[in-house]
A and B are shown apart, each in its own frame.
Chain A
Amino acid sequence: MLEKVRARRLLYARLAVPLAFAILIGRLWYVQIVQGPQFQQQASQNHLRVDEIAAPRGIIYDRYDQQLVENAPTWAVSVVPSDLQRAGTEAVLTRLAAFTHSDLSQLELAVRTDRNNPELPLTLLRNVNRDVALTLMEQADALPGVHVDADAARRDVDAPVFAPVVGYMAPISQEQYDASQHTTQPYPLNAMVGQAGIEQHYENELRGVQGHVTEVVDARGRTLEDMGRQEPIAGDSVELTIDAGVQRAAYQALTKAIQRSGATVGAAVAIDPRDGAVVALVSYPSFDANAFATGISQAEWQRLNSDPAHPLIDHAIAAQYPPGAVLDPFIATAALQDGAAKSDTAYPCPSVLSEQGWNFFNTGATPAGPLTVAGALAHRCDTLFDALGGGAKLPGLNLAGLGQDRLLAWLRQLGFGEPTAIELPGEASGFLPDPAWKKQTQNADWSPVDTYLVASGAGPLAVTPLQVAVATAALANGGTVWQPQLLQRIIAPDGTVLRELQSKVRRKVAISAAAAGPVLAGMAEQARGMSGAVDPTAGVAIAGLAAPAAPTANGPGQPGLNAWWTGVAPVSDPQLVVTVLVVGGDDPEAAAPVAQAMFAASFQPGQGSTSRGG
């Protein structure tokens, strides 16, 4: 009986062998054959690391090949969080903090709050110097999961001067990163991209094509061999139409003018009336663009954003102000062109113009006796232009004026109320009121006084300094309204010119020499009368107009006014238009010296008008 049981049990033991192996073979087949391809992919992800090699970013030059930015060699330290975790995050970060003299809690916070795939590198430190980088490389065995890569920090050569044009580089945003993943050239997670100005607008040209190297790594993250390497392609360089000399002169003079007049904000623009090239574009206060590239502190970012003068806003293009009397030359030109006024007729200059209970004054002392249109510009008889624009019948003068329709049409033609389409982000369109707008917002009909308010450059009318410069250029070049451009050339790393400035005409306005001539003459005369407005050494005749504009329509002459200046030189052969605005000071003439400094820098011997525009 027992023997039978034992024989049966021996048989069971025999059956256990095939049963055990059947289970193992079944499972092995499933893991190795059915799931094999998936695990093979994971195995290669395990041991193959693709390291990006950043492409040298294109350089930004001025029109005379002066470098406005440079790529300074630095080092960046990144970690692969999953590798860190395998080796003990805290221990590795403690050593890293000691080697780099950085704050351990900051490093830990950065790793802990990283919400990306832990297999992807996370940049912890930028702008690490060479000595520290070399130490880290030597200590690679003690720092598993830590990578030190050559990096280039973007440095603006003269940061606050060029910041409004050049813009700045900052870490890529999550949205930008996500969007780029569907393109042929996705950004890495730790990319620095142009976030303002030319750096942003020409990002695709400047960035180049990233290279990469495929490496075999072991479990400790050590590189064992290179499997393949694709060299990066350097970005294209961008040559701007900016003249660094004029830009610097403008920034310095503007800074001085603002500080002297107690103003807070200002802007200066210079464009070439022959092709719309932007020669200078300055905004005050500016900012240190390098702070963004090196990792701006929270405090600095808060300060920049809460400063009432808005340093991050380019006041030359992105802020809009009432133009005040700087509108006079355009009204004068329109009136002469349309025959609403005659150049050889003298008109009386009232000290005050009343319309529906509103009073319009002259910004200067009211001159005695009748004046031609040119004379009125020279002697600042603003009421004449309020009348010409508003369409009034002045007492003792049979003058129809332009009136509502023609005035608004002219201003629209000259480019007010719409963006100039310059290649900088964040441009303001300005504002040109019209009857439809008034009906919609105030449920009231357009009245004659509204036309007068526009003609006086007050009220809801708002313009950007760049718009005034473009309109001034149209006045000087016989009616061409340019799309202002900053790009002179795009140059490939091998020197090939990929793109060259092609002037873009937005609109042709009929302005005859008979209409523009007297206006420029009047402006030239005012510029001559201005203290220090003409640099005798330059020998260049300047036509220009200093014009204060009250922030509100209540009346001129009070502190906190906006001082405008717009003009052109040389008068006989216009090559440079300059528009300057000083906001909130107490000196109506504050803008003129800035313009003068810019002309002087542009026409100085050796960098004369003939070499310009090349």
Chain B
Amino acid sequence: MVGRLRFWRYFDPILVTASVLLTAYGILMVYAALAAPGSTDAARAAATREAIYAGLGLLLLLVACAVDYRVYRGLFWPLLALNLGLLVAVLLIGRAIGGGQRWLNLGLLPFQPSELGKLLVILTLARVLADLDARITTLRGVLASLAIAAVPAALVYPQPDLGTALVYVAVWFGMVTAAGMRLRHLFLLLAAVGAATPLLLRYVRGYQLQRIAAFLDPQKDPTGAGYNIIQALIAIGNGGWMGRGWLQGTQSQLDFLRVQQSDFIFSVIAEQLGFIGCILLFFLFAVLLTRVLAAATVAEDLYGRLIAIGVMWMLLFQGFVNIGMNLQVMPVTGIPLPFISAGGSSLITCLLAVGIVQSVRMRQKRPQFSS
């Protein structure tokens, strides 16, 4: 018992506090995004749902802290099978919501396996990279690691969910560089992708080209593909320094902004809480990411460090792309804002990921002076 409790000495309260604050921020803003004048029923229902997911997620976070992360290393095959199995199941029997077939119906809760898949890709990839160790400097090693991310990405893409596929690729890139991939192999891969571009373009869907065109010039189709990009900018600009006030955003409250509780929730924050509110959000994210990186630094082994690095890239990439598309820095892809966007699968995955990072942190290198 004493031996177990010893790990809690290295528990990082700031990491968990930042996660909890972000989660609370998200619940408040989901409510604010859906509250319409005179009718808060939908908003209350959504916020309650988010709170339940948050509770579940925090529970999983604590459980993950207690579990030694090295356990997952031994579970490589089950985790890989789980990931691929779920994604194949979605393709075969998944439920379609909002134009994408991404959900599995698990009793009461619709469950989005591609979200959990992000974490499963990190865990399986960390194991492969840790096993490869120095062989990551070989092209063979690089290609082997790529397969761990590319196969799930190929399964997610046809849902269609380009965004999540990109997250897998980004996570792979972050982890494989941290593991020590040679830069010339990176350039080789980029060259290969460049050469294959004409072929890849044949698989790009019409709506994706439309989104890129709308990103470059939303005014060309202001009532169609460019509509939400324009409305998001109006909402953000409408916020100014201090914002319109919680529940006081006309763009979000009067439904001019669409999918304002998920992909475009950042615009709701910007409109209602202003520049100040956005800086607060950035601050919480920055603190969280810094603490995740701290865990990577002190991790006892390469496997633990790669898990933390993977989680860091997962959160940073999603945050940057999501906020970037709100600000018209990035084209629109269906990537949620971690902790904030409505959606249980994403929230639970994020909290669970933080729990695993915490587990890495708690089992860090023993201080040399200990007796």
Looking across the interface, which residue of chain B has its beta carbon closest to that of A44? Answer: B250
16 additional A-B residue pairs with CB within 8 Å, beyond A18-B286, A33-B240 = A9-B180, A10-B297, A14-B293, A17-B289, A17-B316, A23-B329, A25-B279, A25-B282, A31-B236, A32-B239, A32-B241, A36-B240, A46-B250, A46-B256, A218-B255, A219-B254
Other-chain residue from A31, A40, A43, A86 in contact with B227 (beta carbon distance below 8 A): A86
Q: Could you jot down 19 A-B contacts, CB within 8 Å?
A: A13-B174, A13-B309, A13-B312, A13-B313, A20-B316, A21-B282, A24-B329, A27-B329, A28-B236, A32-B278, A43-B237, A43-B238, A46-B250, A46-B254, A46-B256, A82-B223, A218-B254, A218-B255, A224-B38
Across-interface contacts of A31 in B (CB, < 8 A): 233, 236-237, 327-328
Looking across the interface, which residue of chain B has its beta carbon closest to that of A27? Answer: B327
- Decide if A201 is an interface residue (CB 8 Å cutoff): no
- Decide if B177 is an interface residue (CB 8 Å cutoff): yes
Looking across the interface, which residue of chain A has its beta carbon closest to that of B231? Answer: A46
- Decide if A528 is an interface residue (CB 8 Å cutoff): no
Complex-state Cα separation, A47 to B252, whole angstroms: 11
Other-chain residue from A6, A16, A38 in contact with B180 (beta carbon distance below 8 A): A6
- Decide if A42 is an interface residue (CB 8 Å cutoff): yes
Complex-state Cα separation, A17 to B233, whole angstroms: 24
Chain A 289-313 near chain B by CB (<8 Å), digits 1 or 0? 0000000000000000000000000
Tell me the minimal C-beta distance from B83 to chain A in angstroms.
24
Cross-chain contact A28 with B237 (CB below 8 angstroms): no
Complex-state Cα separation, A12 to B178, whole angstroms: 9
Looking across the interface, which residue of chain A has its beta carbon closest to that of B320? Answer: A20
Complex-state Cα separation, A218 to B238, whole angstroms: 16
Cross-chain contact A2 with B137 (CB below 8 angstroms): yes
- Decide if B66 is an interface residue (CB 8 Å cutoff): no
- Decide if A437 is an interface residue (CB 8 Å cutoff): no
Other-chain residue from A13, A21, A32, A37 in contact with B286 (beta carbon distance below 8 A): A21
Complex-state Cα separation, A23 to B329, whole angstroms: 9
Tell me the minimal C-beta distance from B258 to chain A in angstroms.
8
Cross-chain contact B237 with A13 (CB below 8 angstroms): no
- Decide if B20 is an interface residue (CB 8 Å cutoff): no
Cross-chain contact A10 with B178 (CB below 8 angstroms): yes
Once A85-B223, A86-B227, A224-B38 are accepted as A-B contacts, the answer to whether A39 and B282 lie under 8 Å apart by CB is no
Across-interface contacts of A20 in B (CB, < 8 A): 316, 319-320
Chain A 334-360 near chain B by CB (<8 Å), digits 1 or 0? 000000000000000000000000000
- Decide if A220 is an interface residue (CB 8 Å cutoff): yes
Looking across the interface, which residue of chain B has its beta carbon closest to that of A2? Answer: B180
Once A9-B180, A86-B227 are accepted as A-B contacts, the answer to whether A35 and B254 lie under 8 Å apart by CB is no
Complex-state Cα separation, A85 to B37, whole angstroms: 24
Cross-chain contact B37 with A86 (CB below 8 angstroms): no
Across-interface contacts of A5 in B (CB, < 8 A): 180
Complex-state Cα separation, A43 to B254, whole angstroms: 11
Tell me the minimal C-beta distance from B350 to chain A in angstroms.
17
Across-interface contacts of A33 in B (CB, < 8 A): 240-241, 275
Chain A 477-504 near chain B by CB (<8 Å), digits 1 or 0? 0000000000000000000000000000
Complex-state Cα separation, A5 to B179, whole angstroms: 9
- Decide if B208 is an interface residue (CB 8 Å cutoff): no
**Chain A interface mostly:** helix
Cross-chain contact B234 with A224 (CB below 8 angstroms): no
Cross-chain contact A224 with B37 (CB below 8 angstroms): yes
**Chain B interface mostly:** helix
Complex-state Cα separation, A220 to B328, whole angstroms: 25
* B233-282 interface with A by 8 A CB criterion: 233-241, 250-251, 254-256, 270, 274-275, 278-279, 282
Complex-state Cα separation, A46 to B253, whole angstroms: 12
- 9 residue pairs, one from A and one from B, having the closest CB atoms: A39-B237, A43-B238, A219-B255, A218-B254, A47-B250, A85-B223, A219-B256, A27-B327, A20-B320
Across-interface contacts of A43 in B (CB, < 8 A): 234-235, 237-238, 250-251
Across-interface contacts of A28 in B (CB, < 8 A): 236, 270, 275, 278, 327
Cross-chain contact A32 with B270 (CB below 8 angstroms): yes
Cross-chain contact B234 with A42 (CB below 8 angstroms): yes
Cross-chain contact B237 with A38 (CB below 8 angstroms): yes
* B307-342 interface with A by 8 A CB criterion: 309, 312-313, 316, 319-320, 323-324, 327-329
Tell me the minimal C-beta distance from A108 to chain B in angstroms.
17
Once A32-B240, A43-B235 are accepted as A-B contacts, the answer to whether A6 and B178 lie under 8 Å apart by CB is yes
Complex-state Cα separation, A325 to B227, whole angstroms: 76
- Decide if A530 is an interface residue (CB 8 Å cutoff): no
Complex-state Cα separation, A36 to B243, whole angstroms: 11
Looking across the interface, which residue of chain A has its beta carbon closest to that of B237? Answer: A39
Other-chain residue from A2, A42, A85 in contact with B134 (beta carbon distance below 8 A): A2
Complex-state Cα separation, A16 to B250, whole angstroms: 35
Tell me the minimal C-beta distance from A161 to chain B in angstroms.
51
Across-interface contacts of A224 in B (CB, < 8 A): 37-38, 254
Looking across the interface, which residue of chain A has its beta carbon closest to that of B255? Answer: A219
Cross-chain contact A220 with B236 (CB below 8 angstroms): no
Cross-chain contact B234 with A46 (CB below 8 angstroms): yes
Across-interface contacts of B282 in A (CB, < 8 A): 21, 24-25
* A195-239 interface with B by 8 A CB criterion: 216-220, 224-225
Tell me the minimal C-beta distance from B141 to chain A in angstroms.
12
Cross-chain contact A40 with B327 (CB below 8 angstroms): no
Tell me the minimal C-beta distance from A313 to chain B in angstroms.
47
Across-interface contacts of A99 in B (CB, < 8 A): none
Indicate the member of B227, B238, B255, B274 with the most A CB atoms within 10 Å: B238
Across-interface contacts of B297 in A (CB, < 8 A): 10
Complex-state Cα separation, A220 to B324, whole angstroms: 28
Tell me the minimal C-beta distance from B235 to chain A in angstroms.
7
- Decide if B105 is an interface residue (CB 8 Å cutoff): no
Cross-chain contact A24 with B320 (CB below 8 angstroms): yes
Across-interface contacts of A32 in B (CB, < 8 A): 236-237, 239-241, 270, 274-275, 278
Other-chain residue from B137, B180, B256, B286 in contact with A17 (beta carbon distance below 8 A): B286
Looking across the interface, which residue of chain A has its beta carbon closest to that of B313? Answer: A13
Other-chain residue from A12, A40, A85 in contact with B237 (beta carbon distance below 8 A): A40
Cross-chain contact A46 with B251 (CB below 8 angstroms): yes
Complex-state Cα separation, A24 to B178, whole angstroms: 24
Complex-state Cα separation, A10 to B227, whole angstroms: 40
Tell me the minimal C-beta distance from A581 to chain B in angstroms.
60
Complex-state Cα separation, A589 to B91, whole angstroms: 98
Chain B 14-52 near chain A by CB (<8 Å), digits 1 or 0? 000000000000000000000011100000000000000
- Decide if B290 is an interface residue (CB 8 Å cutoff): yes
Across-interface contacts of B324 in A (CB, < 8 A): 23-24, 27
Looking across the interface, which residue of chain B has its beta carbon closest to that of A16? Answer: B316
Across-interface contacts of B278 in A (CB, < 8 A): 28, 32
- Decide if B296 is an interface residue (CB 8 Å cutoff): yes
Cross-chain contact B255 with A220 (CB below 8 angstroms): yes
Complex-state Cα separation, A40 to B249, whole angstroms: 11
Chain A 177-190 near chain B by CB (<8 Å), digits 1 or 0? 00000000000000
Cross-chain contact B233 with A10 (CB below 8 angstroms): no
Looking across the interface, which residue of chain B has its beta carbon closest to that of A217? Answer: B254
Other-chain residue from B254, B302, B309 in contact with A216 (beta carbon distance below 8 A): B254
Cross-chain contact B275 with A29 (CB below 8 angstroms): yes
Tell me the minimal C-beta distance from A178 to chain B in angstroms.
25
Complex-state Cα separation, A42 to B297, whole angstroms: 48
Complex-state Cα separation, A9 to B183, whole angstroms: 11
Across-interface contacts of A218 in B (CB, < 8 A): 36, 254-256
Indicate the member of A10, A28, A29 with the most B CB atoms within 10 Å: A28
Complex-state Cα separation, A23 to B320, whole angstroms: 9
Tell me the minimal C-beta distance from B157 to chain A in angstroms.
25
Across-interface contacts of B38 in A (CB, < 8 A): 224
Across-interface contacts of B285 in A (CB, < 8 A): 21
Cross-chain contact B223 with A86 (CB below 8 angstroms): yes
Looking across the interface, which residue of chain A has its beta carbon closest to that of B223? Answer: A85
